[in-house]
Amino acid sequence: MITADQTVGHIAKNFPMSTRVFGRYKIDFCCKGRLSLQEVCGTHDIEIDKLVADIEAEIELAPPTALDGWADRSTPELVAHILENYHRPLDEELPRLESLADKVARVHGDRDRRLPRIAQTFTLLRAELEEHFRKEENVLFPAILADDGQPLAGPIRVMLQDHEDAGDMLVLLRELADDFQVPPHACNSWRALLGGLEDLERSLHEHIHLENNILFPRAAA
């Protein structure tokens, strides 16, 4: 079912429940979805037979995930799903998290010097995402939905690079936040920030997977 030469993006697309296992192993199945299972196991020092066994067990036993079935849905349905469930919620969530990050850095930055870096990195990520959403909503998505034969390789390439950049910032945020582990002395705002960042990472991984591994390849074809 799962082989070492398959890309993680291919596995995530065809077996959505595998994304739960990729999450546990901290394997990026969206921005780095072009890498083979063999390559990511080498990078993360993971025993490939154990990873494959865990994925196959998850596929066999686990209940459905939010990513199930989207490879078989129509392009208009997929675009609408991305807008409704990933773009629009961030209209409110990104400003909320930036405000939290700034507050926690201001109050506790002297105690933990990583907090100002988290705030700075998040500000950059928010700006990157909001500009990226504008390009998708105003240019790429309308072109995909028009389906009039215009070449889309260039715009898609730009979006893929944006995803890579956002993915790099997510990795940095996780490192700075110590895998989102809550320190015993953290206040409620600090706890809310770490929880929000972890939820954002999960949501963006799902979001980028739907675009990189399903929508964009379909549109390019």
Query: Quick check: 164 and 201 in contact, CB under 8 A?
Result: no
- Among residues 33, 4, 2, 30, the alpha carbon closest in space to that of 15 is found at 2
pLDDT of res. 18: 85
Query: How high is the pLDDT of residue 32?
Result: 82
Per-residue pLDDT reduced to its tens digit, 65-86? 666 778 888 999 999 999 999 9
Strand partners, 7: 36
**pLDDT under 50: residue ranges of the chain:** none
Give the pLDDT confidence score for residue 145 in this predicted structure. 94
Identify the pLDDT of residue 1: 76
* Unique residue bearing structure tokens 């865990």: 54
Q: C-alpha distances in angstroms, 101 versus 165, 173, 185, 196?
A: 20, 11, 16, 10
pLDDT of 66 reads 66
Q: Give the Cβ contact number of residue 151 at 10 Å.
A: 9
DSSP 174-211: HHHTGGGPPPTT--HHHHHHHHHHHHHHHHHHHHHHII
Any idea what DSSP says for residue 64?
Answer: P
